Amino acid sequence: MSDRVFRLMERHQKLDEALRLAQRRMARDPFEIVRLKKLKLAIKDRMMRLLRRPHTSG
């Protein structure tokens, strides 16, 4: 696994935790929840593109 994918995975996990915390709050901010979900999805899309990309040696 590349270092770039690993960093994206870490960021994805941090966003997941932030999203869980935001959803548990008594005074939820629906815009923050949507923003976190979109960021999380964008990072997941980037990871998938990097993992599908053919590896080149050299």
- Residue 36: domain span: 3-52
Q: Is residue 35 part of a domain?
A: yes
> Does 39 score more than 60 pLDDT?
yes
Q: Is residue 37 part of a domain?
A: yes
Q: Is residue 12 part of a domain?
A: yes
Residue-wise pLDDT tens digits, 42-55: 999 999 999 898 76
Q: Are 20 and 40 contacting, i.e. CB atoms less than 8 angstroms apart?
A: no
The reported pTM is 0.81
Q: How many domains does the chain have?
A: 1
Which tokens belong to 31?
A: 């815009």
Please give the pLDDT value at position 31. 97
Residue-wise pLDDT tens digits, 3-18: 999 999 999 999 999 9
Q: Is residue 58 part of a domain?
A: no
Q: Is residue 10 part of a domain?
A: yes
Please give the pLDDT value at position 53. 81
What would the DSSP string read from start to end of the chain? --HHHHHHHHHHHHHHHHHHHHHHSSS--HHHHHHHHHHHHHHHHHHHHHHHSPP---
Q: 56 φ, ψ to 5°?
A: -115, 140
